[in-house]
Amino acid sequence: MTLLSSTSNKHVKDFKALQEKSRFRKSELRFTVEGVREMSIALKAGYHLEKLFVQPELNDLSSIEFPKAYPYEHFEVEPKVYQHMAYRASTEGIVGVFKQKKHDPQHVAITSDKNLLVLVLENIEKPGNLGAIFRTADAAKVDMVCLANCSTDLYNPNCIRSSLGCCLSVPSIAGSNEEIREWLHAHNVRSYAATLQNSNPYFQEDFKTSTAFVMGSEANGLSSFWRDESSASIVIPMQGLIDSMNVSVATAILTFEALRQRNAR
């Protein structure tokens, strides 16, 4: 085990670049994870750990089951180095570097005959919102999250943090609008566009068969592509002065309405 005592160490500098730069994450196909819960979820979800950094005064590693099937680099870091590496204000003394997974729609299929529950997220811009949606997806056991023309990096530290690691455990694919549409068609999923235009109140629709809720960006809503391609348009009726709500809140309302319908006796 190697002790790191300088923030200028190459391992530390590479870690910070992965943490802070989306372009570097995409070129290296790696990402960073911080915290006991998030680390445990990443490992259980089958992500390959490459480097582990521990501040032993804060963590003794007893609460995490690490892989024995493959080697990974293990470093101890001095407190000042860990403070430099930590993303969160409150910290648990452990961070790591993992390999990314592939999210290609052409190679991700669901071999289930049950009625699927799917979220399609078009160009979600804020990693905090994306992470919150993944928490909802985990809570509702959503079968797939589809990132369509998404400008937000799934492996952004803020997405991982706000999802409590659920963006790593919930199945997801990423691609163009056209690729996501073809995936839905291949799996016989009926899509519902959440939009203000020509919409029915969401509670008037039937979500008991395979269903995808298509949610748009915070700034611009859904593009005409999904308004035209979806099977129906739905809206959450507003009672106040505004005509919409945060995309993560709206997604939660629709997702749990689908669960309510499916669990109704």
Q: Which residues contact 199 (CB under 8 A, 6 or more apart)?
A: 193, 233, 234, 235
Percentage of the residues of the chain whose pLDDT score is greater than 90: 79
* Whether residues 79 and 131 fall in one domain: no
Residue 8's pLDDT band (cuts 50, 70, 90): very high
Q: What does the pLDDT look like over 166-175, one tens digit per residue?
A: 999 999 999 9
Global pTM value: 0.93
Residue of 55, 59, 157, 167 whose CA lies nearest to 119: 167
- Domain end residue (candidates: 81, 99, 117): 99
Q: Which residues contact 255 (CB under 8 A, 6 or more apart)?
A: 117, 119, 136, 137, 140, 142, 213
Q: Could you tell me which residue, 1 or 168, shows the higher pLDDT?
A: 168
Q: What does the pLDDT look like over 219-243, one tens digit per residue?
A: 888 999 999 999 999 999 999 988 7
Look up residue 39 and give its two tokens: 């680390």
* Whether residues 28 and 140 fall in one domain: no
Strand-pair category, 190-194 with 232-235: parallel
Q: What does the pLDDT look like over 29-62, one tens digit per residue?
A: 999 999 999 999 999 999 999 999 999 888 877 8
Domain carrying residue 23? 2-99
Q: Is the pLDDT assigned to residue 160 strictly greater than 80? A: yes
| Number of domains comprising the chain | 2
We report the CATH number of the domain holding residue 209 as: 3.40.1280.10
Q: Are 82 and 58 in contact (CB under 8 A)?
A: yes
Question: What's the pLDDT at 6?
Answer: 96
- Domain end residue (candidates: 99, 134, 159): 99
* Whether residues 95 and 114 fall in one domain: no
Q: Are 190 and 118 in contact (CB under 8 A)?
A: no
